[in-house]
Amino acid sequence: MRLQQILKEKKISQAELSRRSGIARNSISDYLKGKYEAKQDKVYLIAKALNVSEGWLMGFDVSPERSNSLVYETSPERLIFPEKDEQVINAIKIPVLSKISAGLPIYSEQNIIEHAFMPAYLEKPGKEYFYLKVSGDSMDKEFKEGDLVLIEKDCPIESGQIGVVIINGYNATVKRVRYQDDKILLLPESNNPEHLPQTYTMDDTVRCVGKVVSVQKFY
Protein backbone atom coordinates (compact mmCIF):
# COMPACT_ATOMS: atom_id res chain seq x y z
CA MET A 1 0.00 0.00 0.00
CA ARG A 2 1.23 3.52 -0.81
CA LEU A 3 -0.11 4.89 2.48
CA GLN A 4 3.14 6.26 3.87
CA GLN A 5 3.93 7.93 0.55
CA ILE A 6 0.60 9.75 0.26
CA LEU A 7 0.54 10.81 3.92
CA LYS A 8 3.95 12.40 3.48
CA GLU A 9 2.96 14.10 0.22
CA LYS A 10 -0.25 15.52 1.68
CA LYS A 11 1.36 16.25 5.08
CA ILE A 12 -1.39 14.42 6.91
CA SER A 13 -0.79 12.88 10.34
CA GLN A 14 -1.99 9.48 11.49
CA ALA A 15 -4.34 11.21 13.92
CA GLU A 16 -5.87 13.30 11.14
CA LEU A 17 -6.30 10.27 8.88
CA SER A 18 -7.97 8.45 11.76
CA ARG A 19 -10.38 11.36 12.20
CA ARG A 20 -11.20 11.54 8.49
CA SER A 21 -11.57 7.82 7.89
CA GLY A 22 -13.04 6.63 11.17
CA ILE A 23 -10.32 3.97 11.43
CA ALA A 24 -8.58 3.57 14.80
CA ARG A 25 -5.21 5.29 14.97
CA ASN A 26 -3.46 2.13 16.20
CA SER A 27 -4.77 0.27 13.13
CA ILE A 28 -3.34 2.96 10.84
CA SER A 29 -0.03 2.68 12.70
CA ASP A 30 -0.07 -1.10 12.15
CA TYR A 31 -0.67 -0.61 8.40
CA LEU A 32 2.27 1.79 8.16
CA LYS A 33 4.57 -0.57 10.05
CA GLY A 34 3.53 -3.47 7.82
CA LYS A 35 2.23 -5.39 10.81
CA TYR A 36 -1.13 -5.87 9.09
CA GLU A 37 -2.51 -5.21 5.63
CA ALA A 38 -5.68 -3.15 5.42
CA LYS A 39 -8.74 -5.14 4.40
CA GLN A 40 -10.75 -4.00 1.42
CA ASP A 41 -13.34 -1.98 3.35
CA LYS A 42 -10.56 -0.13 5.16
CA VAL A 43 -8.70 0.52 1.87
CA TYR A 44 -11.87 2.16 0.57
CA LEU A 45 -12.23 4.37 3.67
CA ILE A 46 -8.57 5.43 3.56
CA ALA A 47 -8.65 6.14 -0.18
CA LYS A 48 -11.81 8.21 0.23
CA ALA A 49 -10.31 10.16 3.16
CA LEU A 50 -7.14 10.91 1.16
CA ASN A 51 -8.97 11.54 -2.13
CA VAL A 52 -7.00 8.95 -4.09
CA SER A 53 -8.12 5.88 -6.01
CA GLU A 54 -8.28 2.51 -4.29
CA GLY A 55 -6.27 0.85 -7.04
CA TRP A 56 -3.42 3.36 -6.79
CA LEU A 57 -3.38 3.15 -2.99
CA MET A 58 -3.11 -0.65 -3.21
CA GLY A 59 -0.03 -0.35 -5.43
CA PHE A 60 -1.53 -0.92 -8.87
CA ASP A 61 -0.05 0.99 -11.80
CA VAL A 62 -3.07 3.27 -12.29
CA SER A 63 -3.91 6.94 -11.87
CA PRO A 64 -4.17 8.24 -8.29
CA GLU A 65 -7.15 10.38 -9.36
CA ARG A 66 -10.32 9.36 -7.61
CA SER A 67 -13.66 8.75 -9.28
CA ASN A 68 -16.86 9.70 -7.52
CA SER A 69 -18.00 6.10 -7.96
CA LEU A 70 -17.87 3.60 -5.12
CA VAL A 71 -16.14 0.25 -5.16
CA TYR A 72 -18.56 -2.33 -6.51
CA GLU A 73 -18.28 -5.89 -5.23
CA THR A 74 -19.26 -8.35 -7.96
CA SER A 75 -18.57 -11.42 -5.78
CA PRO A 76 -16.61 -12.15 -2.58
CA GLU A 77 -13.58 -12.91 -4.76
CA ARG A 78 -13.80 -10.16 -7.37
CA LEU A 79 -13.96 -6.39 -7.15
CA ILE A 80 -14.25 -3.62 -9.70
CA PHE A 81 -12.46 -0.33 -9.10
CA PRO A 82 -13.92 2.47 -11.26
CA GLU A 83 -10.92 4.77 -11.65
CA LYS A 84 -12.15 6.92 -14.56
CA ASP A 85 -14.88 6.69 -17.15
CA GLU A 86 -12.46 5.06 -19.56
CA GLN A 87 -10.54 2.96 -17.03
CA VAL A 88 -11.97 0.13 -14.90
CA ILE A 89 -9.91 -2.29 -12.84
CA ASN A 90 -11.35 -5.73 -12.23
CA ALA A 91 -9.58 -7.44 -9.33
CA ILE A 92 -9.45 -11.01 -8.03
CA LYS A 93 -8.95 -12.06 -4.41
CA ILE A 94 -5.97 -14.40 -3.90
CA PRO A 95 -3.94 -15.62 -0.89
CA VAL A 96 -0.87 -13.83 0.44
CA LEU A 97 1.90 -16.13 1.69
CA SER A 98 4.59 -15.16 4.17
CA LYS A 99 6.74 -18.07 3.04
CA ILE A 100 6.58 -21.38 1.21
CA SER A 101 7.65 -24.18 3.50
CA ALA A 102 9.11 -27.34 2.01
CA GLY A 103 7.04 -30.42 2.78
CA LEU A 104 3.80 -28.49 3.26
CA PRO A 105 1.05 -27.67 0.75
CA ILE A 106 1.57 -24.17 -0.63
CA TYR A 107 -1.80 -23.00 0.67
CA SER A 108 -1.40 -24.47 4.15
CA GLU A 109 -2.57 -22.36 7.09
CA GLN A 110 1.02 -21.93 8.23
CA ASN A 111 1.85 -20.13 4.99
CA ILE A 112 -1.18 -17.91 4.36
CA ILE A 113 -1.20 -14.65 6.31
CA GLU A 114 -4.04 -12.79 4.54
CA HIS A 115 -5.67 -12.19 1.16
CA ALA A 116 -5.20 -9.37 -1.35
CA PHE A 117 -6.39 -8.47 -4.83
CA MET A 118 -4.63 -8.90 -8.17
CA PRO A 119 -5.66 -7.13 -11.40
CA ALA A 120 -7.89 -9.49 -13.38
CA TYR A 121 -6.18 -8.61 -16.67
CA LEU A 122 -3.12 -10.55 -15.48
CA GLU A 123 -5.12 -13.75 -15.03
CA LYS A 124 -4.68 -16.53 -17.59
CA PRO A 125 -7.41 -19.19 -17.96
CA GLY A 126 -6.74 -22.28 -15.86
CA LYS A 127 -3.81 -20.72 -13.97
CA GLU A 128 -3.43 -20.27 -10.20
CA TYR A 129 -1.92 -17.21 -8.57
CA PHE A 130 -0.78 -16.12 -5.13
CA TYR A 131 1.19 -13.27 -3.60
CA LEU A 132 4.44 -13.88 -1.75
CA LYS A 133 5.41 -11.20 0.76
CA VAL A 134 9.02 -10.18 0.27
CA SER A 135 11.32 -10.76 3.23
CA GLY A 136 15.00 -9.81 3.30
CA ASP A 137 17.15 -7.82 0.89
CA SER A 138 18.51 -10.42 -1.54
CA MET A 139 16.40 -8.94 -4.39
CA ASP A 140 16.14 -5.34 -3.22
CA LYS A 141 17.10 -3.91 -6.61
CA GLU A 142 13.81 -5.32 -7.91
CA PHE A 143 11.54 -5.21 -4.86
CA LYS A 144 11.80 -4.23 -1.22
CA GLU A 145 10.89 -5.98 2.00
CA GLY A 146 7.13 -5.93 2.45
CA ASP A 147 6.32 -5.76 -1.28
CA LEU A 148 3.94 -8.40 -2.64
CA VAL A 149 5.22 -10.34 -5.65
CA LEU A 150 2.54 -11.96 -7.77
CA ILE A 151 3.38 -15.58 -8.60
CA GLU A 152 1.90 -17.66 -11.41
CA LYS A 153 1.91 -21.10 -9.82
CA ASP A 154 3.43 -24.15 -11.57
CA CYS A 155 4.57 -21.96 -14.45
CA PRO A 156 7.90 -22.88 -16.12
CA ILE A 157 10.64 -20.40 -15.31
CA GLU A 158 12.60 -19.48 -18.43
CA SER A 159 16.26 -18.53 -18.26
CA GLY A 160 16.55 -14.92 -17.17
CA GLN A 161 13.17 -14.76 -15.46
CA ILE A 162 12.57 -14.21 -11.75
CA GLY A 163 10.89 -17.12 -10.05
CA VAL A 164 10.25 -19.00 -6.83
CA VAL A 165 12.23 -22.21 -6.39
CA ILE A 166 12.76 -24.82 -3.67
CA ILE A 167 16.25 -26.34 -3.57
CA ASN A 168 16.96 -29.67 -1.87
CA GLY A 169 13.84 -29.52 0.27
CA TYR A 170 14.52 -26.18 1.93
CA ASN A 171 12.08 -23.28 2.09
CA ALA A 172 11.44 -21.43 -1.16
CA THR A 173 13.54 -18.52 -2.38
CA VAL A 174 12.89 -15.80 -4.96
CA LYS A 175 15.77 -15.28 -7.38
CA ARG A 176 16.55 -14.63 -11.02
CA VAL A 177 17.06 -18.03 -12.64
CA ARG A 178 19.59 -18.81 -15.37
CA TYR A 179 20.35 -22.14 -17.01
CA GLN A 180 23.94 -22.80 -18.03
CA ASP A 181 24.69 -26.19 -19.59
CA ASP A 182 23.63 -28.67 -16.89
CA LYS A 183 23.69 -26.07 -14.11
CA ILE A 184 21.03 -23.87 -12.56
CA LEU A 185 22.15 -20.47 -11.31
CA LEU A 186 20.12 -18.51 -8.77
CA LEU A 187 21.13 -14.87 -9.00
CA PRO A 188 20.41 -12.28 -6.30
CA GLU A 189 19.86 -8.68 -7.37
CA SER A 190 20.87 -6.92 -4.20
CA ASN A 191 22.67 -3.84 -2.97
CA ASN A 192 24.05 -6.06 -0.21
CA PRO A 193 27.32 -7.66 -1.39
CA GLU A 194 26.86 -10.55 1.04
CA HIS A 195 24.31 -12.11 -1.33
CA LEU A 196 26.16 -14.20 -3.90
CA PRO A 197 25.02 -16.31 -6.88
CA GLN A 198 24.19 -19.93 -6.06
CA THR A 199 24.97 -22.77 -8.47
CA TYR A 200 23.20 -26.13 -8.54
CA THR A 201 23.60 -29.23 -10.70
CA MET A 202 21.46 -32.14 -11.84
CA ASP A 203 22.36 -33.89 -8.57
CA ASP A 204 20.36 -31.28 -6.66
CA THR A 205 16.59 -31.42 -6.29
CA VAL A 206 15.19 -28.25 -7.82
CA ARG A 207 11.46 -27.56 -7.74
CA CYS A 208 10.10 -24.56 -9.62
CA VAL A 209 7.09 -23.21 -7.73
CA GLY A 210 6.24 -20.49 -10.24
CA LYS A 211 7.39 -17.27 -11.85
CA VAL A 212 6.99 -13.64 -10.82
CA VAL A 213 4.58 -11.82 -13.12
CA SER A 214 4.01 -8.57 -11.22
CA VAL A 215 4.70 -6.78 -7.96
CA GLN A 216 2.73 -4.51 -5.65
CA LYS A 217 5.20 -2.05 -4.21
CA PHE A 218 4.73 -0.44 -0.82
CA TYR A 219 6.40 2.80 0.20
State the Cα–Cα distance between residues 198 and 209, nearest whole angstrom.
Answer: 17
Catalytic: 175?
yes
Query: How many angstroms separate the CA atoms of 202 and 184, rounded?
Result: 8
Catalytic residue among 42, 133, 138, 211: 138
Does residue 210 contact residue 156 with C-beta atoms inside 8 Å? no
Q: Classify 105 as helix, strand or coil.
A: coil
Between strands 112-119 and 162-167, the pairing is unpaired
Active site residue 211: no
**CA 149 → CA 45, 56, 124, distances in Å?**
25, 16, 17
Tell me which of 35, 175, 211, 217 is the catalytic residue: 175
Contact 178, 187 (CB under 8 A): yes
Of 167, 170, 158, 168, whose CA–CA distance to 213 is shortest? 158
Annotated catalytic residues are 138, 175
